């Protein structure tokens, strides 16, 4: 059996695929890649099927030793990746030899990087997904939050080496200033006029007190026209809730499936990956799609 | 698509995207709750539906990307809803001395702790819906005098087993999570098992009576893993 040895785990490195649908009724969100576009590109570069599991690295790169020769690809945030201390590019297929060490540093131009390995991960699927789910023991206890010394078993693919790359134009625009589109949510009308304008114009940032469940927004306080007391209603990744204290929360991949705070807006699914690459405390703006 | 029918119940459709649909009933149906409809759709394993959430007032459907509208309409129209009303009843032991928010609860409700406990013990609660977090149960039936607004800002950490109230509901946090409800006690039973999510201990409409337990009784139950079915 081939494997990857995690010599250093990084801050929050986990296995993710395109998620675990079908359980939201019981309060378990679909989960999966935080930046699906980047993950899809990594899989494509190594010839894996769309939706295959990848290694998702958040904030800081892990250090990985390869137990055999592998074809890999890196995408998403730039973590100054090296193989045996020699810089290597992202968005290209790479042939790495047994004993090589992949390492890097903290991410810039984004905070989430993806490592795809040609072949399949020899891990149990739980409820039809390999994804680690951060809220309870679904693919967590088996080591899918990767720790120092973990060995990730890989069944190597049969495809031969093929050079592939992704052009600059096809890559997610992580280096550009972040302007995130939003649509009005079902309770947008409950905001007062000043708060509506704040949502559209103001510079926001994500609090460090955020995780795969939700991003707490800071920068401005929003308020409502009247006192709010609403029933619990469905939410999903991308929904922006506003607790009564006026600090909005963006529900993310491992977030709740229902909540009782007003859903003032939502980030469209195709833009959520870009939002999830914003570093905490980095300024960004929303614009309202009319 | 402006509307569709689930069985004979008409819903207006509001699109978050082509795949994410918010459904509002034209009128709240009698003898059947929206979470029960959602549970029925889930169990029917429709080819058109990837995921579903059902709350008291809304349904949220995640439609498979390659589904055509006529298939979606046909499948939802054909759903058979069980309106028999057959349910199970459970006793739920709660240690109110483990409540962490009694000061704010007394302030917001204007009801003293002892009176509050006395009234909630007389409540006939039922499982309105699952949601929020894995296995989180929203329990209906809280008297209006016991209903208080959610916290203005959710706290970062609520302990597993916390029995809490928020708006019109009581509920139990099965796992550690952030939370905006007021914690009035602790339930030492296992209510949710991640290994058997699709065969839950409790189903929509099942009813509950609360039983007050002492710290000593709580310690005894909490020391071992007792699930709600075995306890009852």
Flag if A232 and B132 touch (Cβ within 8 Å): yes
Range of the domain at A218: 179-288
Residue A142's pLDDT is: 47
Q: How confident is the model at residue A144 (pLDDT cuts 50, 70, 90)?
A: low
| Chain B partners within 8 Å of A28 (Cβ) | 134, 197
Do residues B68 and B101 share a domain? no
Residue range A143-149: mean pLDDT, rounded = 75
What is the Cα–Cα distance from A241 to A158, expressed in whole angstroms?
46
To the nearest whole number, what is the mean pLDDT of chain A? 92
Do residues A205 and A271 share a domain? yes
Flag if B132 and A24 touch (Cβ within 8 Å): no
CA distances from B76 to A67, B3, B12, B56, B130 (A): 50, 12, 13, 19, 21
The DSSP line for B55-93 is -SS-EEEEE-TT--HHHHHHHHHTPPP--S----EEEEE
- DSSP 8-state code for residue A159: P
B160 is a domain residue:
yes
pLDDT digits 0-9 by tens, A172-210: 888 778 899 999 999 999 999 999 999 987 789 999 989
Choosing from A170, A204, A220, the residue where a domain stops is A170
Do residues A250 and A269 share a domain? yes
Instruction: Choose from A129, A209, A215, A260 for mutation: most chain B CBs within 10 A.
Output: A260
Chain CA centroid to CA A283, Å? 19
User: Are A254 and A31 contacting, i.e. CB atoms less than 8 angstroms apart?
Assistant: yes
Pairing of strands A179-184, A284-288: parallel
B83 is a domain residue:
no
Do residues A195 and A159 share a domain? no
Residue B135's pLDDT is: 87
What's the number of CA atoms in the CB half-sphere (13 Å) around residue A142? 14
Choosing from B38, B55, B77, the residue where a domain stops is B77
Whether B180 has a pLDDT exceeding 80, the answer reads: yes
Q: How confident is the model at residue A19 (pLDDT cuts 50, 70, 90)?
A: very high
Do residues B107 and B54 share a domain? no
Do residues A22 and A147 share a domain? yes
Flag if B131 and A232 touch (Cβ within 8 Å): yes
Do residues B59 and B111 share a domain? no
Residue A287's pLDDT is: 93
Most confident of A30-39, A126-135, A142-151, B176-185: A30-39
Q: How confident is the model at residue A139 (pLDDT cuts 50, 70, 90)?
A: low
Greater pLDDT, B53 or B151 = B53
Choosing from A136, A170, A204, the residue where a domain stops is A170
ipTM of the complex: 0.92
User: Are B136 and A27 contacting, i.e. CB atoms less than 8 angstroms apart?
Assistant: yes
Please tell me the total count of domains within chain A.
2
User: Are A243 and B180 contacting, i.e. CB atoms less than 8 angstroms apart?
Assistant: yes
B100: enclosing H helix or E strand = none
What is the Cα–Cα distance from A251 to A232, expressed in whole angstroms?
15
B35 is a domain residue:
yes
User: Are A279 and A34 contacting, i.e. CB atoms less than 8 angstroms apart?
Assistant: no
Flag if A30 and B51 touch (Cβ within 8 Å): yes
Helices (H), A17-119: 36-46
Q: Which residue in B38, B42, B132 is closest to A256 by CB distance?
A: B132
Cβ partners under 8 Å of residue A200, min gap 6: A286, A287, A288
pLDDT digits 0-9 by tens, B50-60: 999 999 999 99
Flag if A25 and B38 touch (Cβ within 8 Å): yes
Whether A143 has a pLDDT exceeding 60, the answer reads: no
Do residues B152 and B213 share a domain? yes
B148 is a domain residue:
yes
Flag if B134 and A230 touch (Cβ within 8 Å): no
To the nearest whole number, what is the mean pLDDT of chain B? 93
What is the Cα–Cα distance from B46 to B64, expressed in whole angstroms?
10
Whether A141 has a pLDDT exceeding 70, the answer reads: no
Which of A107, A153, A111, A108 is closest to A15 using CA atoms? A153
B11 burial via Cβ count (<10 Å: 0-12, 13-18, 19+): buried
Do residues A115 and A43 share a domain? yes
CA distances from B110 to A204, A240, B66, B105 (A): 38, 32, 54, 8
Which CATH number do you get for residue B146?
2.40.100.10
Do residues B177 and B211 share a domain? yes
Q: How confident is the model at residue B137 (pLDDT cuts 50, 70, 90)?
A: very high
Choosing from B14, B46, B77, the residue where a domain stops is B77
pLDDT digits 0-9 by tens, B3-31: 999 999 999 999 999 999 999 999 877 77
Residue window 2-21, chain A: list those with CB within 8 Å of chain B: 21
Q: Which residue in B51, B131, B194 is closest to A137 by CB distance?
A: B194
Residue range A84-97: mean pLDDT, rounded = 97
What is the Cα–Cα distance from A277 to B231, expressed in whole angstroms?
46
Neighbours of B15 (CB within 10 A): 12
Q: How many CB pairs under 8 A join A and B?
A: 131
pLDDT digits 0-9 by tens, A50-77: 999 999 999 999 999 999 999 999 999 9
| Chain A partners within 8 Å of B56 (Cβ) | 231-232
User: Are A240 and A182 contacting, i.e. CB atoms less than 8 angstroms apart?
Assistant: yes
Neighbours of B120 (CB within 10 A): 23
Which CATH number do you get for residue A238?
2.40.100.10
| Chain B partners within 8 Å of A30 (Cβ) | 51, 62
Choosing from A170, A197, A231, the residue where a domain stops is A170
Whether B212 has a pLDDT exceeding 70, the answer reads: yes
Do residues A282 and A140 share a domain? no
Flag if A243 and B178 touch (Cβ within 8 Å): no
């Amino acid at each position: 059996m081939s494997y990857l040895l995690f010599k250093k785990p990084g801050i929050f490195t986990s296995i993710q695929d395109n998620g675990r649908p079908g359980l939201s009724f019981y309060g378990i969100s679909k989960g999966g890649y935080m930046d699906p576009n980047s993950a899809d590109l990594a899989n494509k570069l190594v010839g894996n099927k769309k939706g295959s599991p990848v290694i998702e690295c958040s904030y800081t790169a892990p250090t990985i030793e390869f137990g055999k020769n592998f074809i890999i690809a890196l995408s998403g945030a730039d973590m100054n990746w090296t193989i045996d201390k020699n810089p290597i590019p992202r968005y290209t297929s790479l042939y790495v030899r047994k004993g090589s060490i992949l390492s890097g540093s903290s991410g810039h131009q984004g905070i989430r990087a993806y490592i795809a390995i040609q072949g399949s991960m020899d891990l149990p699927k739980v409820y039809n997904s390999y994804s680690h789910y951060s809220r309870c023991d679904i693919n967590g206890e088996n080591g899918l939050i990767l720790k120092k010394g973990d060995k990730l078993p890989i069944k190597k693919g049969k495809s031969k080496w093929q050079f592939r790359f992704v052009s600059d134009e096809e890559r997610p625009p992580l280096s550009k200033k972040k302007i995130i589109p939003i649509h009005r949510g079902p309770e947008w009308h409950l905001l007062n006029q000043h708060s509506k304008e704040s949502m559209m114009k103001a510079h926001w940032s994500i609090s460090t007190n955020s995780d795969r469940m939700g991003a707490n927004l800071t920068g401005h306080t929003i308020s409502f026209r009247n006192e709010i007391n609403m029933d619990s209603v469905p939410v999903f990744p991308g929904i922006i809730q506003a607790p009564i204290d006026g600090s909005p929360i963006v529900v993310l991949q491992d977030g709740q499936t229902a909540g009782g705070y007003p859903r003032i807006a939502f980030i469209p699914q195709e833009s959520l990956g870009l939002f999830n690459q914003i570093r905490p405390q980095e300024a960004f703006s929303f614009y309202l799609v009319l | 698509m402006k509307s569709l029918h689930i069985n004979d119940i008409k819903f207006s459709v509001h699109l978050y995207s082509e795949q994410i649909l918010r459904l509002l009933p034209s009128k709240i149906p009698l003898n059947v709750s929206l979470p029960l409809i959602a549970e029925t759709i889930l169990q029917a394993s429709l080819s058109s539906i990837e995921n579903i959430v059902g709350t008291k007032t809304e349904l949220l459907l995640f439609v498979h990307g390659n589904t055509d509208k006529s298939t979606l309409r046909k499948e939802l129209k054909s759903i058979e809803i069980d309106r028999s009303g057959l349910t199970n009843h459970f006793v739920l032991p709660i240690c109110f001395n483990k409540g962490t928010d009694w000061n704010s609860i007394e302030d917001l409700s204007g009801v003293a702790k002892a009176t509050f406990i006395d009234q909630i013990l007389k409540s006939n609660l039922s499982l309105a819906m699952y949601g929020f977090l894995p296995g989180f149960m929203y329990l209906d039936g809280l008297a209006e005098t016991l209903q208080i607004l959610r916290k203005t800002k959710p706290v970062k950490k609520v302990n597993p087993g916390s029995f809490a109230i928020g708006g019109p509901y009581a509920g139990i946090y099965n796992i550690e999570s952030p939370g905006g409800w007021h914690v009035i006690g602790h339930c030492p039973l296992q209510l949710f098992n991640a290994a058997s999510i699709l065969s839950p201990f409790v189903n929509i409409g099942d009813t509950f009576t609360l039983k007050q337990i002492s710290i000593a009784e709580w310690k005894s139950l909490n020391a071992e893993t007792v699930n709600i079915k075995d306890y009852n």
